[in-house]
Chains A and B, each alone.
Chain A
Amino acid sequence: MLISLGGIALVCALLLAVVNALTEKKIAKVQADKTAAAIAQVVPAFDGSPVDTVVLVDAQEYLVHKAMAGDSIVGYAIETATAGFGGPINMMVGFSASGEIYSTAVVSHSETPGLGAKITDGESHFRTQFEHKNPADGYNLSVTKDGGDVDAITASTITSRAFTLAVAKAYDVYLSVAGAQPAPEFFEPQDGEGGSDD
């Protein structure tokens, strides 16, 4: 009894070890590719591979990918997560060097299909409304129902709030990473464009 069950378990364990060894690298590569694709989607074109740093904001760790072109930083891709309607929403939020939201990408989510799941549609108004907005210019990152500037998805306010919160969190992270660099426009919101070459 012991021998047969033990034998079966042993053979199965060996088999799993072999398959794991064969697929381990490939699985890691698939995940790395996914992250790389999300980064490329949310920041302006960059050279080489992004520089990763871990940032602590409000006692939470965030992974920040700095995209470089030559020696200057062209953008930041920041990984954030918030609680959505059906589970966590994991996102990659991209900022250009001046603090403008460049683009966003949803890495994983479990929102309602047909309703909240519309956050995955990169062409939708909900997603494109964030692009090229700079919270430093007074763009209020909360949904219109809460007095902000973000139009929520119809019938998906909770999801829209969570998405917007994730972008706002990412902006806080951006400020703590890049806070020192894009100086004056933060203090003179009316100044509009320019400003990065002070």
Chain B
Amino acid sequence: MTKLELIKKGLIKDNPTFVLVLGMCPTLGTTTSALNGMGMGLATLVVLTLSNIVISAVARYIPDKVRIPSYIVIISAFVTIIQLLMQAYLPSLYETLGLFIPLIVVNCIVLGRAEAFANKNTVLDSACDGLGIGLGFTLSLTVIGLIREILGAGTFFGWHFLGGDGILVFILAPGAFLVLGLLMALFNKLTGRA
């Protein structure tokens, strides 16, 4: 597989949200607006790419028995670094994403890619895989957030195009499930998997 195919694979064939259905907790929790979804997606993308690179580089020196603890330590180090940087330089985004940033550690996408891809592929391939899956996650979250925001608050990336409040249920938790389910159905229809 070429590098470009590796990246593209994460967007459509292995889309983490609509096909692998991984990382549902941040997907449902942070997509109250397009910007929040995008912020969460980008934070995950950075962690995923960095942890894929490091894990693929050191995987062969790690005995099988302590594989998972080692991966978790590496991933949580990157997450904490991102958290500190975000707190210092993007405080408003940090405030809205709050608890979900430290929870990237247990996002199954990150550990899943380490187990399924990074520990048996080269550093460069793993970087591309992380980038692709991360982009797929970011785009999915942005789209879900955008739809919830348009319907629920009448805003487009924070720009108020509609007076009043919109259909509140889309901003609340049930709206997350509704939009996710409908988009998943649409995605499967378009990619011909259904």
Chain A positions within 8 Å of B, measured between CB atoms, are 1, 4-5, 8-9, 12, 15-16, 19-20, 23, 26-27, 30, 34, 108, 112-115
Contacts and interface: CB of A to CB of B under 8 A. Distances in A.
A16 B152 contact: no
Given A1-B66, A5-B66, A15-B81, A114 B168 contact: yes
Given A4-B63, A8-B74, A27 B172 contact: no
Contacts, number: 62
Contact of A23 (B32, B70, B85, B153): B85
A8 to B, nearest CB: 5
Given A4-B70, A16-B77, A30 B152 contact: no
Contacts of B58: 8
Sorted from nearest, which 8 A-B pairs have the closest CB atoms?
Answer: A12-B77, A26-B88, A23-B88, A5-B66, A23-B84, A114-B168, A113-B171, A1-B63
Contact of A30 (B32, B91, B165): B91
A19 B70 contact: no
Contacts of B84: 19-20, 23, 27
Given A23-B84, A30-B88, A114-B165, 14 more contacts: A4-B63, A4-B66, A4-B70, A5-B66, A5-B69, A8-B62, A8-B70, A16-B80, A23-B87, A26-B88, A34-B91, A113-B152, A113-B153, A114-B171
B106 interface: no
Contact of B73 (A1, A9, A19, A27): A9
Nearest to B84: A23
Interface in B73-122: 73-74, 76-77, 80-81, 84-85, 87-89, 91, 95
